[in-house]
Amino acid sequence: MSKTIACIPADNVGNLLYLKDVRINNKKIFVKYKSTYNDIPFREAEIYSSDANTNFTINGDDGTVLYRFAQSWIVYLLESNS
């Protein structure tokens, strides 16, 4: 379990996306996330590379992009918890 949580602006009205506990399993990357859009506790999701490997996305069950954020946030979490 990590001690670092990344807090990323999710929109331009003050909502936030929180990321923590990055793990890599069989070339897939997983992260725990939650946002201020709702009161759901942290949940784990696979993240997907997008935009020529400059961003990652968290997708819904139907493939809809829920959140997009810079790849540097995952690098930051990996480095700060190693």
Q: What is the pLDDT of residues 27-40, one digit of tens each?
A: 999 999 999 999 89
Distances 63 to 14, 19, 43, 70 between C-alpha atoms, Å: 25, 20, 17, 19
* Burial status of residue 69 (CB atoms within 10 A of its CB: 0-12, 13-18, 19 or more): buried
pTM of the model: 0.89
Tokens of 46: 């696979």
Answer whether 80's CB lies under 8 Å from 6's CB: no
4-24: pLDDT as tens digits: 999 999 999 999 999 999 999
In the predicted model, is pLDDT for residue 82 greater than 90? Answer: no
Tell me how far apart the alpha carbons of residues 53 and 61 are, in angstroms, rounded to a whole number. Answer: 22
Task: Give the chain's length.
Answer: 82
